[in-house]
Each structure stands twice: as C-alpha cells, then as structure tokens.
A and B are shown apart, each in its own frame.
Chain A
Amino acid sequence: MRQHDILVECSQLVKEYKGTRNKPVRAVHDLSFSIRQGETFGLVGESGCGKSTLGQLMVRLLEPTSGTVRYTNFQDGRGNRKQEKAMRKENQIIFQDPYSSINPRKRIGWLVEEPLIIHGIGKDAQERKAMVCSILKEVGLDDSYLDRWPRELSGGQRQRVAIAIALILNPSFVVCDEVVSALDVSVQAQVLNLLQELQEKFGLTYLFISHNLQVVSYLSDRIGVMYLGGLVEMGDTEQIYHHCLHPYTKALFSASVDAFDSVKEDLLLSGDIPSPSRSPSGCPFHTRCISCMKRCIEENPSMVEVSPGHFCACHLIQGMNT
C-alpha cells in the first residue's frame, strides 16, 4: 500500500519573523525532509516549536525566508498566477479551531461551494450543488446541512465541514494542523476514523500536526519530532515509538500519559521550552537535557541516519557510532 514516491520535499527551510528591535525570531530553522505519496507524516512537538509555521510553509500560506518547498507532481507556480492557483488546488490545510476557521456569516452550503466557484469548477449552480452534497455525504453530513449556519453545529460537525471544504477540490496533499485538539475524545475518535477513511478513498497524503502523541502514533506512518524550529528525530512510527534515541523524544513519550500503559520510564523534563527569539547556543535542547555534555553547549548536532530511514540529531548517538 505504501508508496515511496516523494510528493513534497523541503530543503533547508528557514522562516524568520521580525521580533522586538528587529531581532530575528527563528520559527523554523534549517529544516529538510520529504513526505511520500500516500503516507501520513506526523509532526509532534510542544507549543512554540514551529509545527504550525512549518505546516503553513508547506502549503505556501507563508513564504520561507530561505530554502525551498518543492512539489513533485505539480508546479510550484512561483511568479505565475495561473500555476499558483493550480498549486493551491492541490494543497489544502485544515485548522485547529473549527469555531474560528469557518465564516460564521455564511451558510454551510455556501462555504463548501466557494472553492468550486473560485477555481471555476462545475458548469452551473446545480452541478456544483451536487458536488457539495456528495462531499458532505463523504464527511458524514446530509443535505439538510446545506442551509444551516455554522453556529447551529457542534464542534465535531464544524470540523467535518472544514474537512469538506478542504477536500472538495480533490487535493493530493492536506495539512491537518491540530484538527482534533479542540474536540472531545469520542468526537475526536469519529474525526480520526473519518480522516483515515477519506485517505484510503481519495489517496490523500497528510501532514498531521499534533501535540498529542497517542493521536500521532495511532495515525502516522512516519513521525518527525520538532524542537525549537528544527527536527531532532525522524523515522517510521515503529522506530520512533519503540526505539527512540533522542533524549527529547524519550521525555516526550514518557510524559504522554496512556491510560492502558502504566509501565513507562519516568523521565521528567525540567523547565520550559526556551523562547525562539533567544535560542540557546549549540544543541537547542541542551538547557533541558538530562544527558547534556560539554560538546552539546558548543556545537549543534546534525541529523545522522542511525538505521535506514531513522534520523536523529544528537551528539550522544554520534558518539556511539564513531
């Protein structure tokens, strides 16, 4: 089922914001990775580590300061409006909060139809309406929702509408930015099931951003762990879940509480994530790391392939190999 053709590739992606007194704030720092066709790539990390910025860079909602995002099966369309519009059709994003991502002054039918009008799809209103109805049915809502207002819907239903809006253009790549965080656990399970069904049906590729490790390890084929704007570890879900190497990943998995799995190493991280405007020297994680060495303070470790497909950026690992 899994294919290995690369769909989206980032190389040396950097996004800097201007902070106070024009000091640059590095939201995403020198990040390279690729997403394969048909897979779910999970991105985890604490808040403020640049997950959402990366997600928005990948659908070109933000322009990178340097570095590139390259799509393999469609034009990136930089500088060419027509191609850019075609690119937008292939890339979609679903946001975290369904209460603020949907226009409250428009009816559901209008909201879902709008992308079709923008891209000139469908001959007339009737054909468009048929398309809207069919996508609403796919996400588990019936025709009666066409004339409803967003305020009449529950959180889970709104998130279904947001998914319908993203999928009506039949995209190939969808960024799910914390799509289930605002939902109750039973509704969360409904939406996760839905996302998996839709992926199988339409052959979608997901970048699934979440801080919830259970959700990510349940859904993803591969996982990337982010810390302060950079990836610290990346690999297959199995590799990350069972054989994670980076101290941060270990601490993250130890901190995520699983109702069924009580025997776990107790690793407690002290302190908070440093502000990206004052990122520490050397390894960004050294201020909280339990196995910090002198080398970590001076030198930033680079990503090393530990075993096929499993990358980790930590001096401990490099010390082991050499």
Chain B
Amino acid sequence: MEKERKAILEIEHLHLDYRIGGRFCHAVHDVSLTIHSGEILALVGESGCGKTQTALACMGLQPESAHIGKGKIYFEGRELLSQSKQQWNTLRGKGISMIFQEPMTALNPLVKVGKQIEENGRNHGLGKIQARESTLSMMEKVGLPDVGRLYSSYPHQLSGGMRQRIIIAMALINDPPLLIADEPTTALDVTIQKQIMSLMKTLNKELGTAIMLISHDLGVVSHLCDYVHIMYAGTIVENGPVHMILNKPLHPYTKGLLGSIPSYGKKDQRLDSIAGIVPSLENRPQVGCQFYNRCTQRMASCKNISPHATMRDGHMVACHLYPEEA
C-alpha cells in the first residue's frame, strides 16, 4: 500500500521572507511537507502563522514583495520555483487548483457562473462543446440541482453554499491531481459547512484528487483529513496522522490549540488557552523557539537554541521537551 502512493507535491525547506524596515522577516521558515496522491493533508494554525503563504508559494501566487530565499517545491517531480510565467499558467488550474475562503468575492459578479467554470476548461485546451458538457457534468458532481438553469445564473442569485460548490466545480473541471483549499468552509454556516465537507470527501474518493486543506478549525480537520501539520509563526512544530495529533499531542502549542476548543464536556472548567497572540512578522525572535514567549513549559535552552524536529510516537515534533534520542 505504502509503495503505491506517489508523492504529488513535495516542499523542501521552503523559506519565504518579506523585507520590513531593511531586514528580511520570515513568514515561512524552513517548511517541508509531502502530499501523496489521494491524500487529504491539513495545515493548521492561527492566523498569521504562514499557512496561506505556503499555499500561495505552491501556486506561484505569492505577492511581488515576497522573497523566496531557499527551498524547492516539486510537483510530480518537476521543480516549480524556477518555472517561467507561461509554465505557471499551464500548471495553475490543470495541475494544481486552489479554492479560496470567501465564496462571495472569488466569483466575477458580472459573468454567468457556468461561463466562469467553463473558462477554466477552455483555457486548458477543451473545445467549446466539450467544455460545456464537462461543466454541466462537473456541476452535477458537486451536487448542484437543476444545472441547466444554474448554468446561466449570476453569482448574486446563489447562496453562499452554492457559490462555494461552483468554485469547487471550477477548480476541479480539469481533474487536477492536487487541490489546495484555503479555509473553504470558514465563511459558511455549520449545516452548509457539513455539506461542503462531505462533498470534498466524496470528490477526494471518487476523483482521487489530493487535497491540501488550510484551516484553523481542528474539528473540520479531524473529520476530513488523514495527516496534519501544525504551523506556528512560519514553522511546522508538529505533524503526524490526524488521530495521533488529536489524541496524543506533544508540542505545547498543539496542546494549547486543543485545550482552547470549548465543548460541552468542558463546561464549568476554565479553558486552557494560550496566553498572548501570534507575534507579528517583525517581532519574531531571530533565534530560539518561536513559541518561547507564549509557552507554559519553556526552559532556558528554548530562548537561544532553535528546536530540531524529532520523531516521537510516530509523529514529528520540534520542541526541546522531546530531545533527540541518543
């Protein structure tokens, strides 16, 4: 089983910096991850942790001001960062697709939704009739009713959940091996969120599309994903299979994230929140553990020495509490 799974996307030691006040500040610092075909992988963390920046770098959509210093991104064995603009254009939407958080703003309000889905197919070489056919069948696949009528409706005539389905249809029309979903359900109501989640799971099974899910909601992640990477201040602090991370978290940040989730079971107890907030780019420590200031279990060595990734209980953790076994 393990051998069959092919790595779709490999990120190796990615560094993404912004120049603020004459020096480079790390938005993404030494991030490595691998997504295999058919897998759903999650990047979890608070806002400002570099999740979206990592995803944008995979699409070549990072802002002009961003500077990728070190690192390589391989997609199906091909190096992405040295690509020309044209190569990027053929890749986006066909090799890797991305869906964004706000279904309200991601669609063009002046163009019929069917045409918007079709456009992505046409750009990647589908003929006119073929594109229309696959648009309609894709719209059916994402669970939209009465596709003939919806094809010629405008975004404002649709609800949030339907718009998100349209965006998913648009992303998947060329049957890409990898879909990056940046907080796809955050702006939606719980019942609609559940619909979209089960849709993504079905599409993952039926089409075999690998999904990189970016989320801050560990509830969504636990129901959808196989593998989780926890990000804090631009670095991956812990990763592993989802049940491992949820049941046996090791890093104090992961523990804090899980402790912060309110639930009926924790009634009349104080929530174990993490004090403080994610430091802004320019206020991040140059050396030592990024989580030092908010950590409840910090030690002297945490301040000056950056922790290295070690394997513990089947998952990776970067924390001085878990020293490398000699």
Give chain A residues whose Cβ lies under 8 Å from the Cβ of B256.
186
A300 at the interface (CB under 8 A from B): no
Q: How far is the CA of A130 from the CA of B78 in the complex (A)?
A: 65
Cβ < 8 Å to B, chain A residues 273-299: 273
CB pairs A–B below 8 angstroms (21 shown): A156-B277, A184-B46, A184-B278, A185-B217, A189-B261, A192-B271, A217-B264, A218-B263, A252-B190, A255-B190, A255-B191, A255-B193, A257-B193, A258-B219, A259-B221, A259-B246, A260-B261, A268-B194, A268-B198, A269-B194, A272-B161
Q: A186-B274, A251-B191, A259-B221 are in contact. List 13 more A-B contacts (CB 8 A).
A: A185-B216, A185-B218, A188-B262, A189-B273, A192-B273, A215-B262, A252-B191, A256-B219, A260-B261, A262-B223, A268-B195, A269-B194, A272-B192
Contact present for A219 and B189 (CB under 8 Å): no
Q: How far is the CA of A258 from the CA of B161 in the complex (A)?
A: 21
> B277 contacts A255, CB within 8 Å?
no
Q: Which of B190-239 contact A (CB under 8 A)?
A: 190-195, 197-198, 216-223
* CB closest chain-B residue, reference A253: B190
Tell me if A254 and B194 are in contact (CB < 8 A): yes
What is the predominant secondary structure among interface residues of chain B facing chain A?
A: helix
Q: CA of A152 to CA of B277 in the docked complex: distance in angstroms?
A: 14
In contact, A259 and B218 (Cβ under 8 angstroms) = yes
Residues in chain A within 8 A of chain B (CB atoms): 46-47, 154, 156, 184-190, 192-193, 196, 211-215, 217-219, 237, 241, 251-252, 254-262, 268-270, 272-273
Binary contact readout B245-279 vs A (1 if CB under 8 angstroms, 0 otherwise): 01000000000111111111111001111110110
Across the interface, A186 reaches (CB within 8 A) one of B46, B219, B223, B246, namely B46
Shortest A98–chain B CB gap in Å is 13
Checking B160, B194, B218, B222 against A255 with a beta-carbon cut-off of 8 angstroms, the contacting residue is B194
Which interface residue of B162, B191, B274, B277 has the most chain A CB atoms within 10 A? B191
CB distance from A2 to the nearest CB of B (A): 12
B296 at the interface (CB under 8 A from A): no
A262/B222 in contact, CB under 8 A: yes
Cβ–Cβ contact A257 & B261, under 8 A: no
B47 at the interface (CB under 8 A from A): yes
Q: A256-B190, A272-B192 are in contact. Are A185 and B264 (CB under 8 A)?
A: no
- How far is it, in angstroms, between the C-alpha of A159 and the C-alpha of B197 when the chains are bound? 30
| Nearest residue, chain A, Cβ from B280 | A154
- Report yes or no: B217 in contact with A257, Cβ–Cβ below 8 A: yes
B260 to chain A, nearest CB (A): 4
Q: Give bound CA distance, A260 to B193, whole Å.
A: 18
A190 and B217 contacting across the interface, CB-CB below 8 Å:
no
Closest 8 CB pairs of A and B: A189-B273, A218-B262, A189-B260, A257-B219, A255-B194, A189-B271, A217-B264, A186-B274
B150 CB, nearest partner CB in chain A, Å = 14
From residue A53, how far is it (CB to closest CB) to chain B in Å? 17
B159 interface contact, C-beta 8 A: yes
Interface centre among A184, A213, A261 (most CB of B within 10 A): A184
Q: Is the CB of B194 within 8 A of A260?
A: no
Picked from B160, B191, B221, B270, the residue with its CB within 8 Å of the CB of A193 is B270
Complex: how many Å from CA A259 to CA B192?
A: 18
| Contact A259-B261, Cβ < 8 Å, known A218-B267, A268-B198 | yes
**Restricting to B165-204, which residues have a CB under 8 Å from any CB of A?**
189-195, 197-198
Cα A214 to Cα B222 in complex, Å, equals 15
Which chain B residues lie closer than 8 Å to A219 at the CB level? 262
Residues of A within 8 A of B217 (CB): 185, 257
The CA-CA distance from A237 to B262 in the complex, in Å, is 14
**Which one of B198, B221, B264 has the greatest number of beta carbons of chain A within 10 Å?**
B264
Chain B residues with Cβ below 8 Å from A254 are 194
Shortest CB–CB separation between residue B44 and chain A, in angstroms? Answer: 10
Judge whether B258 and A259 touch: CB under 8 Å. yes
CB distance from A1 to the nearest CB of B (A): 10
Q: Is the CB of A46 within 8 A of B191?
A: yes
Query: Is there contact, CB below 8 Å, between B222 and A257?
Result: yes
Q: How far is the CA of A212 from the CA of B188 in the complex (A)?
A: 11
**How many Å lie between the Cα of A213 and that of B263 in the bound state?**
8
Interface residues of B in 296-312 (CB under 8 A from A): none
Counting chain A CB atoms within 10 Å of each CB, which of B159, B190, B261, B275 scores highest?
Answer: B190
One of A47, A185, A273 near B260 (C-beta < 8 A): A185
**A256, closest chain B residue (CB):** B190
Shortest CB–CB separation between residue B43 and chain A, in angstroms? 15
Distance of A184 Cα from B162 Cα, bound (Å)? 26
Residue numbers in B under 8 Å from A46 (CB-CB): 189-192
Q: Nearest chain-B residue to A185 (Cβ)?
A: B260
Residues of B close to A257: CB separation below 8 A: 193-194, 197, 217, 219-220, 222-223
CA A125 – CA B265 in complex, angstroms? Answer: 46
* B262–A192 CB distance below 8 A: yes
CA distance A272 to B264 in the complex (A): 27
Which residues from A are CB-within-8-Å of B267?
Answer: 217-218, 237
CB-defined contacts of A214 to chain B, threshold 8 Å: 219, 261-264
Q: Which residues of A contact B270 (CB under 8 A)?
A: 193, 196
Residues B103-150 near A (CB distance < 8 A): none
A228 CB, nearest partner CB in chain B, Å: 13
Closest-CB distance, A215 to chain B (whole angstroms): 5
Bound CA span A254–B193, Å: 11
Chain B nearest CB, measured from A84 CB (Å): 36
Instruction: Report the minimum CB–CB distance from A198 to chain B (whole Å).
Output: 13
The closest CB in chain B to the CB of A254 belongs to B194
Q: Assuming the A-B contacts A258-B219, A272-B161, are A189 and B272 also in contact, with contact meaning beta carbons closer than 8 angstroms in the complex?
A: yes
- Chain A's nearest CB lies how many Å from the CB of B90? 37
Among B162, B197, B267, B275, residue most surrounded by chain A Cβ atoms (within 10 Å)? B267
Residue among A237, A259, A270 having the largest count of chain B Cβ atoms under 10 Å: A259
